């Protein structure tokens, strides 16, 4: 009987000791992970965070991000509009550095870039986040997500470039979501890629401040910029963005010698007015040049605009005619029936098909060694080799 009581007491004492140890461990882990946001995030990602390149420290440990025109003022423990840059104890960190959630090999035509190394492959990467909130975003599952809401892999810049080389891709494409918000990762990868003989391209909304853009341009070979419309009202209502900032980006890219192409997604009832399209095309010709390719892309119901109907192809054909009448040389239609003639590149002098396409597949290339039309010799602007 006594032996049983002693055994019971020992068990109770042992249980009490284990409980104290567990409580102590909880307090220790609480101090380690909860009181320090930096340690918590590192534990989740298993990788060190990256301090942001463009920001300013303010009073009371607040910071102001200076990467894009939003200039977010971020209090400790909070994130910016893009959801991927966080103020941790007075230091702004990128939460997506070297952690892409999408890694694919694509034809360069998918970017879309039609005048840049036709039929070559691009090693494409993206992370979560965006500094716009487009109501029709086709990649909203990652662009409108926080980093912890998507599956990602750790792929440092050196490994990214190595994999691109091994794959035989001629370019690395920063794409799918918004590459501006993973600027540190893009810039460091682009530097290494250029040193390794790989070119760099991005598909972006163009919402970036001048200083970081000019720094990036040193390593950027081509960009397709989404010009979502040509009215400030449209930008504010549909994307929560700013038209003037995007137009400034286009000018800077051109000044810096980056090959530029433009995508304009036409939405019914929003940016499909002939006057607006004409103004946009004239601005492109006068400020960027008649040789800049423009891709009019067909709207399909997506994300928060499921109630809208698909854009009639006839509207896109009218837009293309307006652009050609305004003096633009190379005007394309996207998201239309595969094999549509407006997927092809025509010589602006003789009308010969110099590049024939079916969606992302190149069927014919009728360019000479110097990038001229084989029929008449007219120079076709682009980067061909």
Q: Report helix, strand or coil for 106.
A: strand
Q: Is 233 exposed, middle or buried (0-12, 13-18, 19+ CB in 10 A)?
A: exposed
The pTM of this model reads 0.87
370-379 LR contacts (CB < 8 Å, sep 24+): 373/347, 373/349, 375/347, 375/350, 376/347, 376/349, 376/350, 376/352, 378/347, 378/348, 378/349, 378/350
Q: Counting every residue, how long is the chain?
A: 385
Strands 55-57 and 50-51: unpaired
Are residues 186 and 53 in contact, defined by beta-carbon separation less than 8 angstroms? no
> Mean pLDDT, consecutive 10-residue segments, the chain of 385 residues?
44 48 39 31 56 95 97 98 97 97 97 97 98 94 96 96 98 98 98 98 98 98 97 92 97 98 95 96 98 97 92 96 98 94 97 96 96 97 95
Name the region of 189 (left: φ>0; alpha: ψ -120 to 50; beta: rest): alpha
Give the pLDDT confidence score for residue 73 in this predicted structure: 98
Give the pLDDT confidence score for residue 385 in this predicted structure: 87
d(CA 58, CA 106): 42
Helices (H), the chain: 2-29, 37-45, 140-143, 157-167, 183-195, 210-217, 232-234, 243-255, 274-287, 313-325
Neighbours of 211 (CB within 10 A): 12
CATH architecture, domain defined by 102-343: Alpha-Beta Barrel (3.20)
């Amino acid at each position: 009987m006594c032996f049983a009581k002693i055994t019971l007491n020992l068990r109770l004492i042992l249980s009490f000791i284990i409980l104290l140890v567990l409580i102590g461990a909880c307090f220790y882990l609480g101090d380690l992970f909860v009181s320090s946001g930096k340690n918590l995030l590192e534990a989740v990602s298993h990788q060190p965070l990256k301090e942001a390149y463009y920001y300013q420290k303010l009073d009371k440990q607040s910071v102001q991000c200076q990467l894009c025109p939003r200039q977010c003022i971020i209090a400790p423990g909070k994130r910016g509009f893009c959801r991927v840059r966080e103020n941790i104890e007075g230091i702004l960190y990128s939460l997506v550095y070297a952690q892409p959630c999408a890694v694919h090999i694509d034809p360069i035509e998918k970017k879309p870039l039609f005048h840049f190394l036709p039929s070559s492959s691009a090693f494409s990467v993206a992370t979560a986040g965006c500094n716009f909130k487009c109501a029709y975003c086709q990649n909203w599952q990652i662009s409108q997500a926080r980093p912890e809401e998507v599956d990602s892999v750790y792929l440092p810049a050196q490994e990214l470039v190595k994999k691109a080389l091994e794959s035989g891709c001629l370019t690395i494409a920063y794409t799918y979501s918004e590459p501006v918000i993973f600027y540190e990762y893009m810039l460091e990868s682009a530097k290494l890629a250029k040193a390794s003989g790989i070119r760099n391209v991005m598909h972006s909304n163009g919402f970036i401040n001048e200083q970081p853009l000019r720094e990036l341009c040193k390593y950027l070979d081509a960009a397709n910029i989404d010009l979502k419309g040509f009215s400030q009202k449209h930008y504010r209502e549909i994307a929560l963005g700013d038209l003037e900032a995007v137009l400034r980006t286009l000018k800077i890219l051109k000044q810096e010698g980056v090959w530029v192409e433009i995508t304009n997604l036409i939405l019914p009832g929003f940016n499909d007015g002939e006057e607006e399209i004409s103004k946009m095309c004239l601005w492109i010709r006068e400020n960027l040049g008649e040789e800049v390719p423009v891709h009019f892309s067909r709207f399909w119901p997506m994300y928060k605009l499921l109630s809208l109907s698909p854009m009639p192809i006839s509207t896109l054909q009218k837009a293309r005619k307006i652009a050609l009448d305004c003096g633009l040389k190379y005007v394309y239609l996207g998201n239309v029936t595969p094999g549509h003639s407006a997927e092809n590149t025509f010589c602006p002098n003789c009308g010969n098909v110099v590049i024939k396409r079916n969606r992302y597949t190149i069927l014919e290339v009728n360019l000479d060694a110097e990038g001229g039309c084989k029929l008449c010799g007219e120079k076709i602007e682009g980067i061909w080799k």
